[in-house]
Amino acid sequence: MYNKGDYVVKANTGVCVIADIIIKKLTESSPEKEYYVLIPVDDENARLFIPTNQEPPNIRAMLSEEEAWALIRAIPDIEISWIENDRMRERVYKDAMRSNDPAELVSIIKNMYIRFRERENQGKKATSVDERYFKMAEKLLYTELAKAIGTECDRMQAVIAETIGDRAGF
């Protein structure tokens, strides 16, 4: 169980702070339940209500600073899943986002960089699906890493490059 003030990561939303833990009925017909009240760090006006006993939980503890640096150093070794079929690739991207696993986000980003370069060499632009998932994965990953290591999100690409250089795979 998490506490008020803890930072967690919600699948498809990203880093949130637990603003409160409340008991309430969300609808007239629903029973009273205990909920985490989450505020996304990139949208302080939003409020998300997540049952504290949700199975499987779609929130997890945010990476610690040590875990974030370990993930950054491991980026060159994280495998990518190359999928030719566009529909299957989108399904893999969706599953990776739902998994709420930062290593899966790295895999998507690495996959996209390779795909973008290939398409560019063929004189083609990135597909809208690839572009959309790339931006989502990058935002989710960089926001969490930046919060964990205490830097700005827009600096994460430079931090990764400084840490692992050309071995990033992107």
- For 24-35, give the secondary structure using H, E and C: ECCCCCCCCEEE
Instruction: Identify the weakest region by mean pLDDT among 3-7, 105-109, 147-151.
Output: 105-109
Cβ proximity of 32 and 51 under 8 Å = no
Residue 47 pLDDT class (50, 70, 90 cuts): very high
Phi, psi (degrees; rounded to nearest 5) at 81: -110, 100
Flag whether pLDDT at 82 surpasses 80: no
Cα-Cα-Cα-Cα dihedral sign, residues 99, 101, 103, 108: positive
Phi, psi (degrees; rounded to nearest 5) at 39: -120, 115
Flag whether pLDDT at 170 surpasses 60: no
Determine the Cα–Cα distance for residues 62 and 85; give it in Å rounded to an integer.
33
